[in-house]
């Protein structure tokens, strides 16, 4: 460990002490990640380590990863801290430690001090180590957040004395000791002295003085209790470390006349100056007043508080206010100042002289880094600068104060008036809208440079993003200014260039004009609907409140604005809660619409002292005259509570408003149709609706006189729990119970208090987490449980949970099973609820899955509600399934066309998203920002994936150029070669769907049947050396695809605007599929031995080419029943390798395919989509029976299968020459992603090749690319371009060349873990193992998928990883090298460290023990690691390893 810095010491403690470790990444690399990487190899402790991307929301990441102890570490930047601040209310009562490294300024990190229970500060590296240990113990035992700030660099630091690893966990897990008053042992100064006497003096008089003239302040009980808990942990830490440690360390003269508090790093504390004592705090919160007073001896008449806050934006520094409040009853003068660097003894003596002379300004000692001189602007009262500096601190370059005093110089005095400010903002909005229109017009210009076109498109999509809009705008302006000829549109765009960035617009009202704003200007600002933030300062002291006009008090505008219904309102006071001010300002900026922030700053003149302002603020807030609150209407739209009270007291008029609003919110949520009317007067329509409701309620009352109302709440990600809840509701209604249903998050926590009978149904997500639409409810529930409130005294409840007891098979992970349901059941009881039916648990491992437990649980509900004897005669409504959707779709039309016209959402209707799959489209959303968008109150960032149908995987250069352009114009700028050898586009927003598909069709390709319950893209081997044979199988692939294509005209109607004949004279007809189509997807592949590059046995139908002695294609062996999809934990699902059933001629092939598909159409399982694939139909009917049905439809038997042999399923990379003399180059495209990145500009390079290439491009099923049919004369130019763009590089390991991954995060909605983005990183690490074993050039087929659906065909790989949760995978071994044998689950759940620890000795043994030509998958079976899988139905048999390698759940 380096003795020069504290980071490794803190990182080590955080890693060894925590269950979950998060760290903030930096552009130049994290200071903590290196230590974590070293510890992952050297330590026996393995926490989950999660990097937070640079600029990411660290707070939400911490909230999403709760544990017994979660540690976050990062360098304390203002961006990071501002984002953390928003989440501290949720984190403050969780066992979380935030280790924040600072350079030399505590300004940013001290903003968190008032928002967390504990705040520790370390000056030295050794202290950082000790405080890290103390913080971990404190957070774990007290279940509260601890912020630990320490210095990033340590000058002249001595070596650090570490606590051994084996002592850390016992220390952290030791039984909690009662926080009693400790004895004074020389290490710790107790809170109130020994034996309970003040400062340890037996006489009990204040400070030990018999005259009692000095009184000890009374501590706040909460603060005192927090300090006692800290004191107890401090004693335990001292006992372990065996070195002294104090909350407040004192040095210097014992009877000092001056006490200097040093908050920050300084060596001056060791100086010996006559009559001066130094106090260095290690604990900054809580600091009870009595503790501060005890640090100031009776002899002191001056206290100086020096704090290392170079950018502090308020008049008084943090600890200064605490000291002023604590010792106000003593005759001591308190001074504040800034603690700079390199403070000398001489400077201290000069400071004392200034104090003696009566100087009272803020002092400054040492050198202040980056100190600047103030700019000359019109005078603003210095007290009011507190708020403006906060705005500058948060928004920096983004801040735009519409009435800034700096405008007076150019605009005159009118520049600070509200009318001018509002007009200026409106002008800016109009100008920016004009700029948007100009950009939209420029995008449609076909002559525009592609790079500029792409930039303009990206800016248009991100124009409201604070960071991206500025970055893209700067690049656009740079390119526009470089254009040789510019149109009027471009010149105008350059004139409006300052409007490219998304600014935070503010109007600041002071005493000079705020009344006018309140009377008229505010009304206009609110009514305008503009995205403008208004900060109104009230400087009227509480003691002078009666002298103001009670009808025109500025804080009343908050009620006015809240009554408007669509305005964000906050009431803040910087000297009461600084953290709340920051949170309100951040929320106001995020709110789309007008925001009003009412700020209290009570001072009578600029000479007002700190104590005066502090007292006035305290009086106003404590009395309820100035309540602290936040009102966010966007939360109401999400079913959350819009009002947050941040102070204890509240005014009566505000309380009346909230009482009324709570009632209205409940009403509007239950009846959205009348929400708009409720914010004004009830009209005739509403009165009529109420009459009808009253009549209906009366009728319901008569029919359900004795039936209690039932509320069913559900939380569900995949829909299973939702279906159970809806079925329960239908059955309850059938028994005469008035029943309603909603998601957990749709009901406010307060609203639940009014309910009597509630049933909860929840599934389990990830590692025992609640589903997405229940997480806010769980947070509120946990917070209430921590406060030990009995809020549900009237609630009668029962809980049913759904999970998989085998999903996390290790004993230490068993608690994840149905964790949300178990915790919910316990919390509700703890909060006063009455359990009327025992907790029900549905287990996917039971014979009927969750239904087994549900059947036991449901009758208990009816019995508890006294309706168990009710006989239900009505049949339950049949649940809507994909089969119903297909049947009612009008041959795949649905309401897709109507949905495309709906501009109110970026999504399509749920039923239509099932139908768009048949059109080659999947609806997705960006999962990287899903939580952030939910927190912002907006819908997910919906987009669509488009998959092209391209039989055989062959396209022309012109088609390649079209695909490249479509990716730029309609997608996310990249496109992907899929494992079905076709193109796939991501990030296509709804309004670009139709233009994109039309462009694809113009390129003579289409997307019909690329997805859905039909035959999908037919793939064939690429075989570059056999030109004639490839041409034959390619034509066969196209013939099969065209024969099996759906015949509906819906595709051409919806996407290509080709209408049906009027009067429905022409009817759709599906001769092969029928109106219900297939039960599930159907995949066809054509392989040419000896290369099985299409993994023919992974497909529902496989054709294996049989070539005669003369090299002519004679026909195909036919394989049926292959399939990859699995559901974790559901043993009714399994992968299956295809079975060869015979031989057919080329001419018979398409008819054989048709009949095989028809038998599946008529016999497949349409009741359960998880068991609907052809593989299950064959295993249920029997292979021979299925074959006989096919032959019956054909009218002739298939011929016996002919001999063939495969020897690989990977691509043949490099240069090849075909029989016709043309050349082919197979290039490596990692995981199929065509994009430009540093060192690999594949997208640009392939575009240049396509411009000159006269042959074709062939896409492979392994996600790689052949540049094919290159004539001799073209060869030098192609090779030159390949070299220029480094696409000729094949110097990769055999492992990497043989790897494959699906897309997974961030776009795939089914992904449970990373895949495409993670597999290259994993291979980097496994490659080191392979190279050490001398196997760099040996091919080992490794594949990864983010979920068990198997898009990358992982179940045929030699080693595979299938995602189960973020960072966790099932590990499979033993697949056949050429795709002939399924692998088997070796470990059900592994993380990266476990993967590497398993593969390291295994690969070394393989290198030493393998036979000549023996492949890795075969060797793992022979070496006894895994059993072979002989058929799909036996896939689970003997899983978990063999012999000594076996681990059974």
Between 125-142 and 221-241, two packed helices, what is the crossing angle to 10 degrees?
A: 120
Number of neighbours of residue 1236 by Cβ within 10 angstroms:
15
What span, in angstroms and rounded, lies between the C-alpha atoms of 110 and 246? 20
- Among 151, 124, 147, which residue's Cα sits nearest to residue 134? 147
* Contact between residue 1396 and residue 1326 where contact means Cβ atoms under 8 Å apart: yes
Q: In the chain, what are the helix, strand and coil shares in percent, each to the nearest 5?
A: 45, 15, 40
Q: Which of 1081, 1187, 1243, 1387 is catalytic?
A: 1081
DSSP 8-state assignment for residue 517: I
- Among 319, 937, 978, which residue's Cα sits nearest to residue 642? 937
What span, in angstroms and rounded, lies between the C-alpha atoms of 1325 and 1322? 5
Q: Which of 947, 949, 980, 1187 is catalytic?
A: 947
Could you tell me how many helices (H) and strands (E) the chain has, helices first? 47, 48
What span, in angstroms and rounded, lies between the C-alpha atoms of 174 and 133? 13
Token reading at 294: 């005890």
What span, in angstroms and rounded, lies between the C-alpha atoms of 108 and 98? 14
Active site residue 1308: yes
Strand order through the sheet with 283-285: 48-52, 20-24, 70-75, 96-102, 146-151, 118-122, 283-285
3-state secondary structure 326-394: HCCCCCCEEEEEEECECCCHHHHHHHHHHHHCCCCCCEEECECCCCCCCCCCCCCCHHHHHHHHHHHHH
Strands 757-762 and 1265-1270: unpaired
User: Could you tell me which residues are beta bridge partners of residue 944?
Assistant: 923, 988
* Contact between residue 1261 and residue 1094 where contact means Cβ atoms under 8 Å apart: yes
Q: Which of 735, 1083, 1175, 1381 is catalytic?
A: 1083
For residue 400, give the 3-state DSSP assignment: strand
Q: Which of 1308, 1353, 1384, 1415 is catalytic?
A: 1308
What span, in angstroms and rounded, lies between the C-alpha atoms of 808 and 428? 56
Active site residue 830: no
What span, in angstroms and rounded, lies between the C-alpha atoms of 1389 and 562? 51
Strands 1240-1241 and 1359-1365: unpaired
For residue 564, give the 3-state DSSP assignment: helix
Active site residue 1016: yes
Return the C-alpha torsion angle 1088, 1093, 1098, 1099, nearest 10. -50
Active site residue 1347: yes
For residue 555, give the 3-state DSSP assignment: helix
Between 488-495 and 418-443, two packed helices, what is the crossing angle to 10 degrees?
A: 150
3-state secondary structure 1186-1233: HHHHHHHHHCCCCECCCCCCCCECCCCCEEEECCCCCEEEEECCHHHE
Asked, as a colleague might, if the bond just before 637 is cis with ω within 30 of 0, I would say: no
Question: Torsion-angle region of residue 771: left (phi > 0), alpha (psi -120 to 50) or beta?
Answer: beta
Q: Which of 315, 630, 1016, 1384 is catalytic?
A: 1016
Active site residue 687: no
3-state secondary structure 810-850: CHHHHHHCCHHHHHHHHHHHHCCCEECCCCEEEECCCCCCH
Active site residue 947: yes
Number of neighbours of residue 913 by Cβ within 10 angstroms:
20
Dihedral sign (CA 931, 933, 938, 940):
negative
Q: Which of 955, 1011, 1144, 1302 is catalytic?
A: 1302
Token reading at 1145: 């001629």
Expressed in angstroms, the distance from the first to the final Cα of the chain is 39
Residues designated as active site: 947, 1016, 1081, 1083, 1302, 1308, 1347, 1351
């Amino acid at each position: 460990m380096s003795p020069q810095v504290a980071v490794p010491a803190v990182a080590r403690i955080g890693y060894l002490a925590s269950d979950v470790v998060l760290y903030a990444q930096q552009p130049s690399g994290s200071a903590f990640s290196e230590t974590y990487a070293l510890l992952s190899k050297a330590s026996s402790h393995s926490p989950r380590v999660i990097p937070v991307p640079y600029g990411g929301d660290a707070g939400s990441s911490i909230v999403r990863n709760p544990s017994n102890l979660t540690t976050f570490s990062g360098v304390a930047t203002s961006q990071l801290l501002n984002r953390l601040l928003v989440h501290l209310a949720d984190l403050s009562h969780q066992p979380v430690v935030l280790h924040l490294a600072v350079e030399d300024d505590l300004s940013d990190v001290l903003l968190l001090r008032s928002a967390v229970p504990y705040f520790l500060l370390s000056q030295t590296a050794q202290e950082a180590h000790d405080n890290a240990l103390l913080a971990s113990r404190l957070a774990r035992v007290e279940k509260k957040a601890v912020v630990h700030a320490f210095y990033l660099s340590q000058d002249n630091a001595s070596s650090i004395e570490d606590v051994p690893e084996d002592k850390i966990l016992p220390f952290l897990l030791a039984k909690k000791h009662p926080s009693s008053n400790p004895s004074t042992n020389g290490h710790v100064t107790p809170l109130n002295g020994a034996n309970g006497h003040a400062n340890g003096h037996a006489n009990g008089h204040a400070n030990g003085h018999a005259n009692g003239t000095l009184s000890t302040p009374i501590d706040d009980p909460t603060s005192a209790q927090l300090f006692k808990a800290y004191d107890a942990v401090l004693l335990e830490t001292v006992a372990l470390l065996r070195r002294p440690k104090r909350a407040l360390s004192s040095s210097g003269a014992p009877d000092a006349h001056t006490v200097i508090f040093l908050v920050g790093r300084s060596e001056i504390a060791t100086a010996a100056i006559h009559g001066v004592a130094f106090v260095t705090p290690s604990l900054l919160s809580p600091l009870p007043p009595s503790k501060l007073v005890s640090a100031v001896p009776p002899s002191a008449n001056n206290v100086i508080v020096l704090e290392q806050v170079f950018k502090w934006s308020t008049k008084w520094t943090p600890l200064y206010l605490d000291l002023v409040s604590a010792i106000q009853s003593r005759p001591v003068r308190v001074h504040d100042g800034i603690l700079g660097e390199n403070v000398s003894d001489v400077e201290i003596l000069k400071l004392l002289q200034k104090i003696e002379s009566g100087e009272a300004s803020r002092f400054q000692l040492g050198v202040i880094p980056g100190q600047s001189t103030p700019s000359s602007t019109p005078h603003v009262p210095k007290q009011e600068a507190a708020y403006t500096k906060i705005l500058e601190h948060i928004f920096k370059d983004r801040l735009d104060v519409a009435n800034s005093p700096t405008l007076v110089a150019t605009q005159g005095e009118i520049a600070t008036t509200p009318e001018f400010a509002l007009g200026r903002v409106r002008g800016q909005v109009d100008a920016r809208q004009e700029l948007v229109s100009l950009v939209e017009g420029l995008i449609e210009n076909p002559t525009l440079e592609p790079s500029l076109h792409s930039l303009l498109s990206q800016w248009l999509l991100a124009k409201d993003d604070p960071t991206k809009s500025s970055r893209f705008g700067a690049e656009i302006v740079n390119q526009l200014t470089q254009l040789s000829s510019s149109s009027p549109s471009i010149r105008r765009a350059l004139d409006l260039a300052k409007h490219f960035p998304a600014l935070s617009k503010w109007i600041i009202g002071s005493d000079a004009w705020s009344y006018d704003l309140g009377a008229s200007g505010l009304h206009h600002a609110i009514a305008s609907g503009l995205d403008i933030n208004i900060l109104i300062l009230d400087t009227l002291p509480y003691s002078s409140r009666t002298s103001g006009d009670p009808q025109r008090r500025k804080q009343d505008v908050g009620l006015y604005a809240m009554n408007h219904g669509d305005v964000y309102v906050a009431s803040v006071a910087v000297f009461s809660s600084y953290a709340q001010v920051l949170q309100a300002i951040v929320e106001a900026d995020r709110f789309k619409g007008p925001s009003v922030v009412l700020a209290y700053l009570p001072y009578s003149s600029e000479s007002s002292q700190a104590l005066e302002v502090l007292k006035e603020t305290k009086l106003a807030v404590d009395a309820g005259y100035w309540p602290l609150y936040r009102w966010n209407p966007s939360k109401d739209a999400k079913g959350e509570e819009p009002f947050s009270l941040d102070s204890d007291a509240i005014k009566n008029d505000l309380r009346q408003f909230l009482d009324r609003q709570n009632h209205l919110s409940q009403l509007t949520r239950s009846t959205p149709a009348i929400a708009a009317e409720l914010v004004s007067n009830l009209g005739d329509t509403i009165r009529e609706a109420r009459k009808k409701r009253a009549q209906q309620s009366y009728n319901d009352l008569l029919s359900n006189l004795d039936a209690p109302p039932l509320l069913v709440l559900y939380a569900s990600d995949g829909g299973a729990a939702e279906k159970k809840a809806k079925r329960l509701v239908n059955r309850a209604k059938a028994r005469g119970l008035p029943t309603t249903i909603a998601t957990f998050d749709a009901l406010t926590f307060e609203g639940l208090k009014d309910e009597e009978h509630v049933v909860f149904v929840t599934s389990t997500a990830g590692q025992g987490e609640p589903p997405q639409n229940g997480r806010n409810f769980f947070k509120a529930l946990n917070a209430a449980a921590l406060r030990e409130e009995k809020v549900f005294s009237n609630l009668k409840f029962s809980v049913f949970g759904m999970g998989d007891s085998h999903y996390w098979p290790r004993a230490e992970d068993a608690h994840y099973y149905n964790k949300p349901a178990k915790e919910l059941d316990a919390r509700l009881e703890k909060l006063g609820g009455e359990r009327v039916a025992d907790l029900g648990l549905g287990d996917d491992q039971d014979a009927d899955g969750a239904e087994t437990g549900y059947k036991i649980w449901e009758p208990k509900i009816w019995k508890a509600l006294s309706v168990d004897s009710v006989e239900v005669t009505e049949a339950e409504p049949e649940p809507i399934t994909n089969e119903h959707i297909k049947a009612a779709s009008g041959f795949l039309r649905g309401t897709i066309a109507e949905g495309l016209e709906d501009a109110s959402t970026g999504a399509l209707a749920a039923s239509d998203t099932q139908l768009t799959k048949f059109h080659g489209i999947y609806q997705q959303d960006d999962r990287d920002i899903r939580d952030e968008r939910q927190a912002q109150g907006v819908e997910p960032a919906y987009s669509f994936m488009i998959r092209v149908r391209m039989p055989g995987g062959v396209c022309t250069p012109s088609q390649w150029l079209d695909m490249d352009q479509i990716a730029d114009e309609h997608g996310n700028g990249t496109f992907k070669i899929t494992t079905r050898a076709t193109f796939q586009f991501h990030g296509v927003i709804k309004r670009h769907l139709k233009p994109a598909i039309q462009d694809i069709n113009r390129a003579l390709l289409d997307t019909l049947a690329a997805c859905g319950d039909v035959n999908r893209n037919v793939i064939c081997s690429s075989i570059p050396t056999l030109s004639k044979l490839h041409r034959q199988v390619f034509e066969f692939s196209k013939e099969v695809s065209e024969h099996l294509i759906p015949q509906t005209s819906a595709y051409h109607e919806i996407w290509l605007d080709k209408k049906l004949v009027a009067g429905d004279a022409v009817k759709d007809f599906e001769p092969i599929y029928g109106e219900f189509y297939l039960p599930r997807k159907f995949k066809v592949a054509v392989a040419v031995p000896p290369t099985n590059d299409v993994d023919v046995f992974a497909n529902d139908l496989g054709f294996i080419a049989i070539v005669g002695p003369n090299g002519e294609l004679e026909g195909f062996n036919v394989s049926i029943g292959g399939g990859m999809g699995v559901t974790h934990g559901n043993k009714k699902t399994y992968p299956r390798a295809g079975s060869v059933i015979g031989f057919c001629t080329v001419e018979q092939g398409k008819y054989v395919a048709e009949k095989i598909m028809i038998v599946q159409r008529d016999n497949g399982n349409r009741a359960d989509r998880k068991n609907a694939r052809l593989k299950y139909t064959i295993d249920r009917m029997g292979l021979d029976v299925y074959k006989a049905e096919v032959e019956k439809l054909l009218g002739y038997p298939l011929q016996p299968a002919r001999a063939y042999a495969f020897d690989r399923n990977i691509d043949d990379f490099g240069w090849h020459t075909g029989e016709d003399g043309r050349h082919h180059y197979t290039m490596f495209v990692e995981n199929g992603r065509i994009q430009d990145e540093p060192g690999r500009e594949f997208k640009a390079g392939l575009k240049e090749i396509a411009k000159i290439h006269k042959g074709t491009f062939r896409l492979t099923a392994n996600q790689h690319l052949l540049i094919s049919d290159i004539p001799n004369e073209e060869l030098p130019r192609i090779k030159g371009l390949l070299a220029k763009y480094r696409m000729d590089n094949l110097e990769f390991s055999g492992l990497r060349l043989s790897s494959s991954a699906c897309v997974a995060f961030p776009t795939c909605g089914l992904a449970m873990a990373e895949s495409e983005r993670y597999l290259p990183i994993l291979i980097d690490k496994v490659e080191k193992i392979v190279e050490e074993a001398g196997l760099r050039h040996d091919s080992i087929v490794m594949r990864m998928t983010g979920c068990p659906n198997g898009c990358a065909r992982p179940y045929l790989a030699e080693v595979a990883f299938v995602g189960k949760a973020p960072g966790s995978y099932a590990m499979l071994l033993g697949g056949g090298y050429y795709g002939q044998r399924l692998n088997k689950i070796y470990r059900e759940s592994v993380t990266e460290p476990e993967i590497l620890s398993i593969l390291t000795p295994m690969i070394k043994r393989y290198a030493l023990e393998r036979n000549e030509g023996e492949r890795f998958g075969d060797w793992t079976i022979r070496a006894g690691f895994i059993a072979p899988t002989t058929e799909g139905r036996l896939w689970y048999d003997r899983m978990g390893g063999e012999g000594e390698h076996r681990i059974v759940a």
